[in-house]
Structure 1
């Protein structure tokens, strides 16, 4: 069999046999990716692209990190798979490393295959422990594509799958730029968002509410960093009403905001914390729920009614162990924080000053959103929530033409490079974005 890579054949077979997620199948032209390294990947035409998407915001340690690749290969030669009821050294060590970095007394890990099933199992645990049926989640959120997780989600991707029977109630979270509370300061936004949440709790009936499921920082929905005190305020409301706080750190976990976990950096300890993506940069699928004594004790002498064939799969666990150790020894989390403070943050602020189509930039670490508007005064977005537009399509095409793979959603370009990104690579990304925004400015001016 030939080992030569044939991009044309890859594309042909994809279009003939692969059914893509979130897509109208006959209307897409997937880019062929042939290889990747560090902060870059190469397409089927041989073009090198700076990966400012981190794929789906998960290649935190960059592409093809040699220590992680070698750990997977070594584990495959020794023990490629094992049933989850048996202990194996890589799963045990991965659990230890994750628990040591989780906030507070969260010290046990239930492993899943990804973020959606992690959120579903966390909600199941909350319901079983409290004996209550409902979960509160915010609008402008994303929690996964499985049936329960997509109903937890608070954006338009939910609509086609929402039958109103999931036991989910949505509320508005803080988003000062488009405040639902007519706030003009972060302090007002925080106070009014918490007052709104408490009113929802009271009107839904606290005795019916098992958990509040929140992304520590909403990611795909717009990277809205919660104002100071908001997460602590939600924690206090949960304590007051006997509700379990479930922190979704699938996108924020393992360095993305310049911390191992955003909740830990905020000094907030949830009852349950979900992770996936960044734990091993997606090299092998893995997710999980980190839980503390309250949940553990509930199931200490009664079976937990749930499990997965690949829970703590040894290849995924080996990748997680190697990834966490590399992040620690190479200062990758600290690098993400520094890049955000010294390069991306100031650079994106300068782009906003220079380009009238940029309504707001916001973020932390290597987790930033550029919100594009047709008019700064009215804040009219250049594309609808959950949709696209000719302006956003042109922005995406221009970025690729200039050598960047961007992460684009609705009216936003997200600047989300790997946590390993260098100063030079981050500056390269800013230079490309500057030229992309020139194009956006021109299109907006044309109307």
Structure 2
């Protein structure tokens, strides 16, 4: 929706006219001074966001867009939730910052609330500044606990942009950073739609993927492997829900060889798939669990590691050699407390599950039946992917793995032109609205996607 009335007030209190003027200055300064991540700097024209509220954002021209990306799949409670905004302001007035060696009430309460929701006895919480350093520290803990070095992760995964995390990542962003010396070994995980195991059923895919993993372990040497790290449901890589029995099989393999199982819940956690943590879909307890993003919807940077009793005991009388100046920062953890309480009080996790089952799943199935460019839809809760293809029979993707295409660019442009901010990666559009999204908002988004997939159909056979 375009706001044509220059005097219309945006949620931030500015008129459209004033917001446009501010946005022009913002863009000018951005292009002059800001160095953007994952980008060729001279090739980008970043959208300016001037305001946000709930499931919507406003761009520099005053256009309102339904945020079906949750930015980077992290605003799980939507934008500008008043309870969290107020908690940050209250904490700033009380205790703005404190060094991590001191106890403070925001960090203590956040740790309690997180530990109450993690599976099993993952009751010790180490706070980080985000997801990538949560992965870094989880791997460090596993290596020190086991006395081993190698770490196994799957292709088609994303674990973060820091040195160990980017080497663990199983997508092309790893390639320029990977010198083969980080102790990381990749393997193929289950993905029936594009099976590497010639499987025709989920049961075959699960069994053959587990056999492949165990064979990789045997070839690498079980006594050399500290951890297997898996996104409970891979996010950026494609929202491929593991088939029945796979995660339990990984847990059994880890137990048999003394390998630590690390569940990466950075994107998949805090209600995203309709449960507090996605690993709960599989009734499995990991040795370590990493989180970030949805823990406070990114209102203030925060991540962390939930730690099993056995690994915590390793550092009971032996100093853990790691820490961060801002570990458990009061503003960030106060935001986490308010976020978790708001999610609980307002039933957001249940809402995510219901919206996924009753609105998104049937809505995407209807679109898949209509559009020849849709190869597959998959997901749970408010965590879905639409696989766009040039040919449904050959499953040729609409954009090559690791890249984009004029067809995908046209689909993304159609989304934005009709009022939707999408999450796109390679040949996929992800449907990842907030956990508190309404059914009407989802239907609005699906109607816009319907028009965008008409554009995709023009590029499909």
Q: TM-score, normalised by structure 2?
A: 0.95
Deviation of 1:315 after TM superposition, in Å, equals 0.2
Does the CA contact (< 8 Å) of 2:372 and 2:460 recur in 1?
no
- Aligned counterpart for 2:329 among listed residues 291, 298, 313: 313
Equivalent residue number for residue 82 of structure 1:
98
Residue-by-residue CA offset, 1:23-53 (whole Å, 9 max, x unaligned): 1100100000001000000000000000000
Equivalent residue number for residue 376 of structure 1:
392
CA distance in 1, matches of 2:308, 2:162: 25
Equivalent residue number for residue 48 of structure 1:
64
Residue-by-residue CA offset, 1:53-109 (whole Å, 9 max, x unaligned): 000000000000000000000000110000000000000000000000000011010
Does the CA contact (< 8 Å) of 2:390 and 2:459 recur in 1?
no
Residue-by-residue CA offset, 1:334-360 (whole Å, 9 max, x unaligned): 000000000000100111000000000
Residue-by-residue CA offset, 1:135-163 (whole Å, 9 max, x unaligned): 00000000000111000000000000001
Structure 2: where are the runs of 5+ without partners?
1-13
Deviation of 1:444 after TM superposition, in Å, equals 2.7
Does the CA contact (< 8 Å) of 1:391 and 1:444 recur in 2?
no
Equivalent residue number for residue 112 of structure 1:
128
Residue-by-residue CA offset, 1:223-250 (whole Å, 9 max, x unaligned): 0000011111100000000000000000
Equivalent residue number for residue 259 of structure 1:
275
Equivalent residue number for residue 50 of structure 2:
34
Aligned-residue Cα RMSD (Å) equals 0.7
CA distance in 1, matches of 2:400, 2:326: 38
Residue-by-residue CA offset, 1:97-141 (whole Å, 9 max, x unaligned): 000000001101000000000001000000000000100000000
Equivalent residue number for residue 6 of structure 2:
none
Structure 1: where are the runs of 5+ without partners?
none
Give runs of aligned pairs for residues 76-225 of structure 1, distance below 5 A. Answer: 76-225=92-241
Residue-by-residue CA offset, 1:261-319 (whole Å, 9 max, x unaligned): 01123211000000000000000000000001111100000100000000000000000
CA distance in 2, matches of 1:244, 1:37: 41
Aligned residues: 443
CA distance in 2, matches of 1:291, 1:267: 17
Is residue 405 from structure 1 mapped to residue 421 from structure 2 by the alignment? yes
Q: Secondary structure at the match of 1:92?
A: helix
Deviation of 1:384 after TM superposition, in Å, equals 1.2
Residue-by-residue CA offset, 1:164-213 (whole Å, 9 max, x unaligned): 11000000000000000000000000000000000001110000000000
Q: Secondary structure at the match of 2:459?
A: helix
Q: Secondary structure at the match of 2:186?
A: strand
CA distance in 2, matches of 1:157, 1:385: 11
Deviation of 1:386 after TM superposition, in Å, equals 1.9
CA distance in 1, matches of 2:194, 2:156: 11
